[in-house]
Amino acid sequence: MRSSLLNSALLLLHWSSASSLEIPYRRSYFYVGGSYVDDGAGGHLFQGQMYVEKLGPVDGPSQPTPIVLIHGQGQTGTITKATSHQNFLNKPDGGVGWASRFIEQGHEVYVVDQTFRGRSPWRPGAGQAEPSAFTAEYVQQRFTAVRDYALWPQAALHTQWPGPGTMGDPVFDAFYGAGAQYIDNATYQQTAVQAAGARLLDRIGTPVVLVGHSQGGIMPPLIADARPHLTRALVLLEPSGPPFRDALPVPKPARAWGLADIPLTYRPAVARPDVELVTQTFAARDENHTDCILQAEAPLPRRLANLADIPILTVTAEASFHALYDECNVRYLRQAGCKVDHVELGDVGIHGNGHMFFMEMNSDVIQDLVHDWILNATKGG
């Protein structure tokens, strides 16, 4: 009897300790988007569908605005490795992630796996590009151990990744081991996610806040462009950039539509971006930033018609490679008539973060900042 009671007490203690790391929620899932395509051999495959995990407070949402979370390249929204989730649901070190914090704050949360990624199936032979994956060395250089490589000036400031951020460290291995392959074709990926994202907003049926990180950071503007009436605000966490090119490791053309590789709605309308989006290079503000290719000042810059009335927040970490050029994205949006707040974390006293700041040790402080902005941006809506 005593042994049974002891075992029960130990089990309760273990459950209490584990459950204290997570926020209770109601969970369901579904797929949106996709279509049947010819497999080239007389059959059909279904492709382009997007997995969505719907999470909500146990007692129902107390906030009127749902949050949609869109992960970046080589990631999924709720990667599962053994029994632990990471990215937006939990962090690689076992800490509570942003999805849980938004639920705790009363929001209904939708976490997606981008098309052809994770639980959004990739099917060979369906006309897609071949899948790619980041090497462990690339992840160390860009995300987790950036001080060791010093590939950009701000890298020396990185202190918030838990542990050394290198192969063999348990936190790094948990993060990298849960990474996912991705389709290395920006046009194809953006087209599919925009279509599925629009269907997701149709299904939710009430205006949402779209939150995207890195390569997933261009998806909120694209989805909002397709469904402006169902978009309440955009939060861009170090989105792909800068406009019209990749800056690292060697500058090369990209994003022909300014922010994206696929069409955005401009006024006056644009049919041929290479001709009609006249560009001009503006000097960098100092040696620690890149110059910016923006629309030329004359003729007047074209406006992003469907985004102009949607509040936008861009967040940039102090030690990230995005510190070099995120301001170019912000300047481009403002030039195109958008209302953009740009928070550079170091300027508001939040120091030491890299590109994966929503997974790092002080992630709760940054989430509080983002949530406060969301409440203010959606006030009265």
Interatomic CA distance for residues 153 and 156, integer angstroms: 7
Of the pLDDT bands very low, low, confident and very high (cuts 50, 70, 90), residue 4 is very low
> What's the pLDDT at 104?
96
Angle between helix axes 219-226 and 186-204 (nearest 10 degrees) is: 50
Q: Report helix, strand or coil for 79.
A: strand
Please tell me the distance from the alpha carbon of residue 237 to that of residue 225, in angstroms, as a whole number. Answer: 18
Backbone angles phi, psi at 9, to 5 degrees: -65, -40
Name which residue leads in pLDDT, 21 or 159.
Answer: 159
The continuous run of DSSP H or E covering 31 comes out as: strand 26-32
Give every CB contact of residue 340 below 8 A, 6+ residues apart in sequence: 312, 313, 314, 330, 333, 334
> Which stretch of DSSP H or E encloses residue 364?
helix 363-377
Average pLDDT, the chain: 90
In the three-class reduction of DSSP (H, G, I as helix; E, B as strand; rest coil), residue 371 is classed as helix
231, pLDDT greater than 80: yes
- Indicate whether 16 pLDDT > 90: no
Cis peptide bond prior to 24, omega within 30° of 0: no
**Per-residue confidence (pLDDT) for residue 17, from 0 to 100:** 35
Q: Between 132 and 303, whose confidence is greater?
A: 303
> Token digits for 241?
């950039």
Reported as a single tens digit per residue, the pLDDT across 240-251 is: 999 999 988 888
How far is residue 54's CA from residue 235's CA, in Å, rounded to a whole number? 19
Q: For the purposes of burial, counting CB atoms within 10 Å of the CB of 334, is it exposed (0-12), middle (13-18) or buried (19 or more)?
A: middle
Give the range among 156-160, 249-253, 291-295, 343-347 with minimum mean pLDDT: 249-253
Place of tokens 């897609």: 128
Are 83 and 230 within 8 A, CB to CB? Answer: no
- Please, are residues 300 and 221 in contact by the beta-carbon 8 Å criterion? no
CA distance 204 to 35: 20
Give yes or no for residue 183 having a pLDDT over 90. Answer: no
Cβ-contact 152, 321 below 8 angstroms? yes
Percentage, residues of the chain above pLDDT 70: 91
125 pLDDT band, cuts 50/70/90, is: low
Please give the structure tokens belonging to residue 332: 């481009």
Average pLDDT over residues 218-234: 98
In percent, the amount of the chain with pLDDT more than 90 equals 77
Residues β-bridged to residue 183: 131
Q: What pLDDT was estimated at residue 250?
A: 82
Residue 213, φ and ψ in degrees, nearest 5: -120, 135
Rounded CA separation 148/140 (Å): 9
Closest residue by Cα to residue 143 from 368, 371, 357, 376: 357
Helix, strand counts (H, E) of the chain: 10, 20
The answer to whether residue 18 scores a pLDDT higher than 70 is no
Q: What is the pLDDT of residue 299?
A: 86
| pLDDT tens per residue across span 30-75 | 999 999 988 888 899 899 999 999 999 999 999 999 999 999 998 8
Biggest CA-to-CA distance, the chain: 85
Between 8 and 25, the more confident residue is 25
- Which are the catalytic amino acids? 214
Residue 135 structure tokens: 């090497």
pLDDT of residue 126: 53
pLDDT of residue 381: 61
Q: Is 132 strand, coil or helix?
A: strand
Rounded average pLDDT over 255-261: 97
Residue-level pLDDT at 56: 96
Class level of CATH domain 24-242+305-377: alpha beta
Is pLDDT at 354 greater than 70 in this prediction? Answer: yes
What average pLDDT score do residues 195-205 get? 98
pTM attached to this predicted model: 0.92
Question: Residue 23's pLDDT band (boundaries 50, 70, 90)?
Answer: confident
In total, the chain counts a number of residues equal to 381
Q: What number is the average pLDDT over the span 283-301? A: 94
